[in-house]
């Protein structure tokens, strides 16, 4: 079956760095997405990785290793507004988007 695993919840301190991991087992691979979702709101697009390596975009970076079925989202200089759920999603061989359950990130002052 298809499966995406990410931690349910993480806690970090304002100003610090946090890494949210995502592992996947899917039938084929056509890219991995990270989305941010604040409570009560729809997800917003953060990043898309289809090749191995690190993609940096401001305070957020996303890494992909296709051979390991692994990705992480790195958030630097954490701000209180970064408190949200972070969803990992993979596009499989049929271009279907398979969603992880999301990681709730709690930022403490």
Partner 1 sequence: GAVVSQHPSRVICKSGTSVKIECRSLDFQATTMFWYRQFPKQSLMLMATSNEGSKATYEQGVEKDKFLINHASLTLSTLTVTSAHPEDSSFYICSARDGQSAETQYFGPGTRLLVL
Q: Does residue number 38 form part of the binding site for partner 1 (CB under 8 A)?
A: no
51 binds partner 1 (CB under 8 A): no
Q: Judged by CB under 8 A, which of 22, 73, 102, 107 binds partner 1?
A: 102
Phi and psi at residue 104, to the nearest 5°: -85, 120
Nearest by Cα to 57 from 70, 68, 48, 66: 48
For partner 1, which is the closer residue by CB, 16 or 101?
101
Spatial distance between the Cα atoms of 35 and 86, rounded to a whole number of angstroms: 6
CA distance 90 to 15: 29
**Residue 73, Cβ neighbours under 10 Å: how many?**
25
**Closest separation between CB of residue 43 and partner 1, Å?**
5
Which of 20, 75, 84, 100 is close enough to bind partner 1 by CB under 8 A? Answer: 100
Residues engaged in binding partner 1 (CB under 8 A): 30-31, 33, 35, 40-45, 48, 50, 87, 91, 95, 97, 99-102
């Amino acid at each position: 079956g298809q499966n995406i695993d990410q931690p349910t919840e993480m806690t970090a301190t304002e100003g610090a760095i946090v890494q949210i991991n995502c592992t996947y087992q899917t039938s084929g691979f056509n890219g991995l997405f990270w989305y941010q979702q604040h409570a009560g709101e729809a997800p917003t697009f953060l990043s898309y990785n289809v090749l191995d390596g690190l993609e940096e975009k401001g305070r957020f970076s996303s890494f992909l290793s296709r051979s390991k079925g692994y990705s992480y989202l790195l958030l630097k200089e954490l701000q209180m507004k970064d408190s949200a759920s972070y969803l990992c999603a993979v596009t499989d061989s049929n271009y279907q988007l398979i969603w992880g359950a999301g990681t709730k990130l709690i930022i403490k002052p």
